[in-house]
Amino acid sequence: MPELNHSDAPLPFPILIGDIGGTNARFSILADANSEQEHFPVVQTANFETIDDAIRLILEKSKVQPRAAILAMAGPVQGDEIPLTNCDWVIRPKTMIANLGIEDVLVINDFEAQALAIADVADEHRETIGETGDSMAASRAVLGPGTGLGVAGLIHTQHQWIPVPGEGGHIDLGPRTERDLQIWPHLEAIEGRISAEQIICGRGLQNLYHAICKVDGVEPSLKEPADITTHALAGTNAQAEETLTLFVTYLGRLAGDIAMIFMARGGVYLSGGISQKILPALQKQEFRAAFEDKAPHTEMMKTIPTYVVVNPLAALSGLAAYARKPSSFGLATDGRRWRP
């Protein structure tokens, strides 16, 4: 039998599990492979100077001292100091090992965790968008607008699920219709381009709403993304309604692009709080119409199912599934795992 690679050895239990976003951080502790996760209240990242401070609070509330940690964070994982994209926290695994009593730390991208979660989603934890066939054991994709826009793939091969991380939220998004061409000049470009994340996320809703107001010659009256979606769903503000309609249209276009990139015959999943909140809008015709409008492959696109994940702790569930049975997943850990 070949010798087990240091980075491939299962993490020792108990394991601290963390889903670290730009605004919220969620934690649980998994005592052993057969236990249910012990969940803790959601942490607001702005309330803690460092992630270590937040973890100390969690450990004070638990009777279990974890030996290992699996952390999914919003941003690329590089080096020994890992900054989050939309938050001031920096993850320093060596410092955690030195100061928190943890001996083994694995850090992955937050949408890798979302990808792990969609390997096996119970029916009660997903809502189907449109009328398509059931998902199969085939490649899948997940994307989710939140503080930013995350994208990941999940490849099924040789009896394993392999998550594929990336920064797909930062790909270009361009205008297609006459209305798009009216709106686009009023969207702020970053170094000369409009990325998907400039429109399809919380602040993207605001960007789109303000651009629509500018085109319509209307003074914007709604300040927060939640205000925009609330008025849009209630039908009490015309610009908010169009903002949400175009938001789900653009999300459908992007989801279709990602589906083709991964040939995601197993389905495309929308995750995150925004997707759950705007579910009524996603279930209208615009999302699926934009998703399927991919000539010359429109007929193929009609066969790919789309879902909204309605489990707010999906990432923690995905990480726990990996912790319990790592052999079921082809998760790369080289350069992302730290031990003394």
Judged against a pLDDT cut of 70, whether residue 4 lies above it is answered with no
Q: Tell me the per-residue pLDDT of 15-28, one tens digit each, with 9 for 90 and over.
A: 999 999 888 899 99
* pLDDT at residue 7, as a whole number: 55
User: Is residue 199 a contact partner of residue 245, using CB atoms and an 8 Å limit?
Assistant: no
User: Is residue 40 a contact partner of residue 27, using CB atoms and an 8 Å limit?
Assistant: yes
Query: ∠ CA 60-62-66 to the nearest 5 degrees?
Result: 100
* Helix 110-117 × helix 314-324 angle, to 10°: 80
Rounded CA separation 68/13 (Å):
7
Return phi, psi of residue 234, to 5°: -85, -15
Judged against a pLDDT cut of 70, whether residue 135 lies above it is answered with no
* pLDDT at residue 3, as a whole number: 36
Rounded CA separation 78/100 (Å):
21
CA atoms within 13 A on the CB side of 14: 16
Closest to 331 (Cα-Cα) out of 313, 318, 317: 318
Q: Tell me the per-residue pLDDT of 77-129, one tens digit each, with 9 for 90 and over.
A: 888 999 987 788 999 999 999 999 999 999 998 889 999 999 988 889 999 99
Pinpoint the alpha helices (H) of 100-237: 110-117, 178-183, 202-216, 225-234
Burial class (CB in 10 A: 0-12, 13-18, 19+), 293: middle
pLDDT band at 48 (very low <50, low <70, confident <90, very high): very high
Rounded CA separation 50/311 (Å):
27
Least confident stretch, 2-6, 91-95, 126-130, 281-285: 2-6
For the stretch 1-26, what's the b/e string if a residue is b when 16 or more beta carbons lie within 10 angstroms of its beta carbon? eeeeeeeeebbebbbbbbbbbbbbbb
Q: Tell me the per-residue pLDDT of 245-275, one tens digit each, with 9 for 90 and over.
A: 999 999 999 999 999 999 999 999 999 889 9
Give the pLDDT mean for 37-44: 94
Q: Which amino acid is at 34?
A: N
Closest to 112 (Cα-Cα) out of 149, 165, 67: 165
3 state DSSP class of 121: coil
Looking up tokens 């994940």, which residue turns up?
309
Rounded CA separation 157/181 (Å):
42
Pinpoint the alpha helices (H) of the chain: 51-61, 93-99, 110-117, 178-183, 202-216, 225-234, 238-262, 273-277, 279-282, 285-292, 298-302, 314-324
Judged against a pLDDT cut of 50, whether residue 1 lies above it is answered with no
Q: Tell me the per-residue pLDDT of 208-237, one tens digit each, with 9 for 90 and over.
A: 999 999 999 999 999 999 999 999 999 999
Judged against a pLDDT cut of 90, whether residue 133 lies above it is answered with no
Does the pTM surpass 0.85? The reply is yes
Closest to 278 (Cα-Cα) out of 238, 255, 239, 249: 249
* pLDDT at residue 33, as a whole number: 93
Pinpoint the alpha helices (H) of 133-284: 178-183, 202-216, 225-234, 238-262, 273-277, 279-282
3 state DSSP class of 305: coil
Q: How many CB atoms lie within 10 A of CB 150?
A: 31
Q: Which amino acid is at 113?
A: A
Rounded CA separation 54/302 (Å):
44
